[in-house]
A and B are shown apart, each in its own frame.
Chain A
Amino acid sequence: GAVVSQHPSRVICKSGTSVKIECRSLDFQATTMFWYRQFPKQSLMLMATSNEGSKATYEQGVEKDKFLINHASLTLSTLTVTSAHPEDSSFYICSAMSIGTTGELFFGEGSRLTVL
Chain B
Amino acid sequence: AQSVAQPEDQVNVAEGNPLTVKCTYSVSGNPYLFWYVQYPNRGLQFLLKYITGDNLVKGSYGFEAEFNKSQTSFHLKKPSALVSDSALYFCAVEDGGATNKLIFGTGTLLAVQP
Chain A residues proximal to chain B, CB less than 8 Å: 1, 4, 6, 32, 34, 42-44, 46, 49, 57, 91, 93, 95, 97, 102-110, 112
Contact = CB atoms under 8 A, between A and B. Distances in A.
B88 to A, nearest CB: 9
Contacts of B103: 46
Interface stretch (B20-28, B42-50, B67-75): B42-50
A105 B100 contact: yes
Contacts of A6: 43
Q: How large is the interface on B (under 10, 10 to 19, 20 to 34, 35 or more residues)?
A: 20 to 34
B102 interface: yes
Nearest to A110: B43
Given A34-B101, A43-B107, A97-B99, 11 more contacts: A43-B104, A46-B101, A46-B103, A49-B101, A95-B44, A97-B100, A102-B51, A103-B32, A103-B49, A105-B46, A108-B43
A34 B49 CA distance: 18
B44 to A, nearest CB: 4
Contacts of A46: 101-103
Given A32-B99, A46-B103, A103-B100, A110 B46 contact: no
Nearest to A59: B101
Contacts of A44: 44, 90, 104
Contacts of A93: 43-44
Contacts of A109: 42-43
B51 to A, nearest CB: 6
A91 B39 CA distance: 13
Which 4 pairs across A and B sit closest by C-beta, in order of nearness? A107-B43, A107-B44, A109-B43, A43-B106
A49 B36 CA distance: 19
A106 B49 CA distance: 13
A91 B106 CA distance: 15
Interface string B28-62: 00001010100001111110010100000000000
A97 to B, nearest CB: 5
Nearest to B107: A43
A19 B90 CA distance: 28
B104 A106 contact: no
